[in-house]
């Protein structure tokens, strides 16, 4: 059997109703995983699960607010068997600098991006420790390690995700648990389309061109490209990797 096979493994993917989370869920399911899709968007979540199930793969939807301890606990009780893979993709964005970011903005970003990642890892870790195996993959961002204009609160949360990743990798390496993160630059998702349409009406094509050219490679990434890296990191092919941050950024980090 290929070391990229995920056959029979229980995988939980948060933020799985669309974008990167959905692409990862699909990729895992195509390679044999039993995928539990977690998201707050019940309608799109069900559609995502139906899409995967129609392909003959195994997927189940679980409506969950990752910022809520009670909601996370309830969702994780629904999963059958130990969790082999946890991918934390649920997150929200924000545009603003220090002065324009309100305390309410900061709290909202922290609740989903940081607290949500913490709660899901905490819910999964006990079973992984008992099984003496497991893989956790968090979605950070290039904003965690590079200064990006008008991303004050967002950068703060992704820096925290990176730090949590390193801490969990260190604390649980002796239990056979690996923890890594991916730091994408701009990825073309439905969120980007909606953001551009809302904030730049009539200038969508020009703005999308600018967003693409901000990466030295000349375009935005795709959810499928993030999913391919996630698949490798969570498979046996990536078994020597832990405590690492992988910039998937079209050259943004080193070439810009």
Helix (H, G, I), strand (E, B) or coil at 133: coil
What the block records as the tokens of 169 is 């990798």
Report the DSSP beta bridge partners of residue 87: 13, 137
Asked if 154 is an active-site residue, the reply is: yes
Residue that the structure tokens 């909601």 belong to: 71
By CB neighbour count within 10 A (0-12 exposed, 13-18 middle, 19+ buried), where does 129 fall? Answer: middle
Query: Of the residues 154, 172, 200, 232, which is catalytic?
Result: 154
Q: Catalogue the E-assigned strands of 7-117.
A: 10-14, 34-39, 58-63, 85-88
Question: Rounded to a whole number, what is the distance in angstroms from the first to the last CA of the chain?
Answer: 41
SS3 18: coil
* Residue 256 near residue 220, CB atoms below 8 Å: no
Burial of 194 from C-beta contacts in 10 A (0-12 / 13-18 / 19+): exposed
Q: How far apart are CA 84 and CA 217, in angstroms?
A: 35
Residues assigned a catalytic role: 154
């Amino acid at each position: 059997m290929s070391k990229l096979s995920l056959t029979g493994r229980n995988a939980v993917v948060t933020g799985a109703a669309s974008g990167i989370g959905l692409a990862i869920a699909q990729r895992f399911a195509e390679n044999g995983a039993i995928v539990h899709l977690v998201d707050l968007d019940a309608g799109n979540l069900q559609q995502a699960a139906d899409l995967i199930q129609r392909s003959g793969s195994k997927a189940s939807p679980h409506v969950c607010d990752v910022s809520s301890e009670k909601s996370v606990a309830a969702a994780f009780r629904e999963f059958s068997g130990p969790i082999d893979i946890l991918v934390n993709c649920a997150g929200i964005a924000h545009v603003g600098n220090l002065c324009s970011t309100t305390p309410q903005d900061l709290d909202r970003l922290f609740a989903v991006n940081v607290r949500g990642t913490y709660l899901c890892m905490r819910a999964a870790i006990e079973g992984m420790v008992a099984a003496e195996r497991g893989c956790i993959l968090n979605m950070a961002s290039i904003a965690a390690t590079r200064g990006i204009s008008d991303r004050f609160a967002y950068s703060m949360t992704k820096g925290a995700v990176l730090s949590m990743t390193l801490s969990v990798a260190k604390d649980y390496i002796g239990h056979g648990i690996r923890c890594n993160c991916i730091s994408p630059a701009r990825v073309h998702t439905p969120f980007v389309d909606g953001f551009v349409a809302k904030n730049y009406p009539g200038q969508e094509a020009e703005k999308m061109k600018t967003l693409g050219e901000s990466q030295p490679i000349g375009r935005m990434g795709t959810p499928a490209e993030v999913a391919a890296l996630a698949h490798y990191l969570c498979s046996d092919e990536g078994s020597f990797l832990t405590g690492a941050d992988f910039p998937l950024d079209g050259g943004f980090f080193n070439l810009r």
